[in-house]
Structure 1
Amino acid sequence: MPADTLPAYVPYDGSSKPFTIGLLQLEPERWIEPDGELAEQVLLKRRLVAEHGEHVLRAEPGTQEAQQEVLDLLTEYLPQHHPEHYSLNDARMAVAGVDTDIADETMTPLHRAGLLVQDDLVIMRKGENGWRIAAAFLAFPSSWRLSEKFGLPMDEVHAPVPGFEGGSRNAGLINRMFDNLSADRIVVRWNWSVNWSHALYHPNAASEEEKHAVPPEKAVIRVERQTLRKLPVSGDILFTIRIYLDPVSAILAQPNAADLAVSMADQLEAMSDAEVAYKGLTEKRAELVGLLRQKEAVNTLAG
């Protein structure tokens, strides 16, 4: 994000605090939101699948129909709501000038669907142990690996997250929300974290050595826009994840930089030790908060 460009979303302004569920109703026309980086990111997804295979794209047997349901949903939705980016001609979809054969049976339906959008696509299916990851096109993971989470129920997926362990109130809320989600609703939530490199494909948390080498002004706020909708035929849930990378230096050049700095600093300072450790900020929180407080102080004096 260049310094003269406004961020797409700013959940770090306090509107979406870390370690909360924070679901909101989403209008159908805002479900998928392509932008000027669509072609670049679709080409990157093609390359990542070729390079990493099952680490990016994986599906259980028996999910073919649900995958096709996702592909059909996107094929209908995208040209209708975003004709400036998409056009459909028989079985070929032009995606910002990049041609995709949506009938190419050498690729799974989820593979084809994932090459239409900037979002990652995850199909959740309910079993005896709750909702699990049954199929996924995960090109842009946020410090986690598909191979480690695939097939696991939500309680186990979220087990490392403070406050979301199995048996916790938040874990129960997630399971009930999945159970009660109707096919005529789409919900959205945001998450944000701090990265130390500007990379969409980010399966590994940065090492302490890597973080130590990056000054706080070079940090990147990684924003996740997550949507959930129940597929009407299969009854599975489609979970989409769109990643935005906002360099801290660019955020602090925005007109409302002082407000954003105050909010981020307050939230970082309010995190428990367990939350700070989970976010990988144990060694860098004080340094980052210091930068944000400095911006706050400079703007206060200037005012």
Structure 2
Amino acid sequence: MPTDRPTDTPTDTPTETPAETPTDPDPRDWLETELADTLDEDYEIELEDAVLSMKIREIYRAAHGPTIPRPEYFKSLLRLQAELIRLQDWVVYHRKKVVVIFEGRDSAGKGGVIKRISQRLNPRVVRTVALPAPSDREKTQWYFQRYVPHLPAGGEIVLFDRSWYNRAGVERVMGFAGEDEVEQFFEDVPEFERMLRRSGIHLVKYWFSVTDEEQQMRFLMRIHDPLKQWKLSPMDLQSRVRWEQYTKAKEEMLARTNIPESPWYIVPGNDKKRARLNCIDHLLSLFPYEDVPHEEVELPDRVFNPDYERAVLPPELYVPSKY
């Protein structure tokens, strides 16, 4: 996608203020600078979708057609992220416990929406859990045991980038779990999730859905983009071979684990931008959050000691200024 900045976004480095000019900052200048930094951060993230070979880019655009215009997308995203901050404050104030599960096929967009949800939130409150393959010891444990330590305490939100539903998906399709283990999982998971709800955990489950053609296109993008090749694993490539097996496994999983206490919500993911906005908007709609009391914050005066003299540090301690 194009990476040109809007013409009204300040990009020049500010020059030093002459000693004789007033030093009190104009609040509007601070706001413009903050907005510029925010857009720079968003553009940096969006570059992950832009570094494609020209041929793949042409094919991708022809297959998708127009998406949300970038200014409209950023405006909506910033508004939703502001609401996520309100949700975070409500969770902390009322000591709520929230778990959000993100499942879906490889390259369906789970990581992208998780990144936008957590982008402006406090990492001490909102954390992402993406567990590796189980160790030999973990394979002998109760299946849900390795997920339990990552569940939230009061005032925390945990985002699971894949979850215990691995057993019904990749483990089943790739033969890492036998049919008897899968059947035991289907019998156990509804009661496990009811236990979570009874303990006060708000559990939300999202399945990101993409078409066969869209997944193929995204895999091609990863193959041809050096910045994304790390995302491809032998397991991902096998998911292309076993597309129909994954489809059957997904359909049974949704049918047998879609319970009233923790229903599934399906996010159409072919359009990444719309998927992110729709998912965040829906997540916010599930909680009766509202503004909570905040202590007034005042910047204290700096204490000046006339006898203090700042030490001169040796130049080799400083990071070289190459940029």
TM range, smaller chain: under 0.3
Between Structure 1 and Structure 2, the one with more helix by share is 2
- TM-score, normalised to structure 1, is 0.25
Q: Which has the larger radius of gyration?
A: 2
- TM-score, normalised to structure 2, is 0.24
